Amino acid sequence: MNMKIILLISISLFFITCQQQIDKKGDALSSDIVFNPNTANKDTKVKKNALPQMTFDHLDFDFGVIFEGEEVVHKFKFTNTGGAPLVISDVSATCGCTIPTYTREPIAPGKNGYIEVRFDSSGRKGMQHKSVIVLTNTQPNRIELSFIAEIEVNKE
């Protein structure tokens, strides 16, 4: 009987400790600002414009011709045209040569944000097509942005 009590207390302490470590993580956004109609109470009426919506100026970009070894940067700008705060949970590149940065704080309805991509052409030649995947609290929650560049090798 004592072993069962000790085991129960140990498991309880483990879960309490794990929850405290999760709560201490400072870079995570609070999930209470995210509204997901798929998990909302069935009695809740969901209006289409009550959701965040990410509207970009463009989803692809052409850097044109650049020289091998050159680093180029482009900002994909967007507006939250929905009716709730927009939260970007992750932006990932399909290649290590591309580094994305993005607006980290929630974007209020009507406000703007950005996804910036930095492409390093070192060790590459010819036509390059790269993408970044954006995960948000919009419906659908996955958006793909892409760019191309024609890389010429320096002949010195």
Alpha carbon 25 to chain centroid, angstroms: 18
Give the model's pLDDT for residue 156: 58
Helix (H, G, I), strand (E, B) or coil at 32: helix
Residue 28, pLDDT > 50, answer no
Q: What is the DSSP letter of 107?
A: B
Give the model's pLDDT for residue 154: 78
Give the model's pLDDT for residue 23: 41
Name which residue leads in pLDDT, 33 or 80: 80
| pLDDT band with cut points at 50, 70 and 90 for residue 21 | very low
Averaged pLDDT, 70-94: 97
Give the model's pLDDT for residue 50: 84
Name which residue leads in pLDDT, 108 or 21: 108
Among 20-29, 74-83, 85-94, 98-107, where is mean pLDDT lowest?
A: 20-29
SS3 track for 58-98: CCEEEEEEEECCCEEEEEEEEEECCCCCECEEEEEECCCCE
Residue 12, pLDDT > 80, answer no
Closest residue by Cα to residue 74 from 118, 9, 33, 19 = 118
Q: How far apart are CA 5 and CA 37, in angstroms?
A: 41
Give the model's pLDDT for residue 18: 45
| pLDDT band with cut points at 50, 70 and 90 for residue 101 | very high
Q: Are strands 60-67 and 142-152 parallel, antiparallel or unpaired?
A: parallel
Q: Burial-class residue 91 by CB neighbours within 10 Å (0-12, 13-18, 19+).
A: buried
Residue 108, pLDDT > 70, answer yes
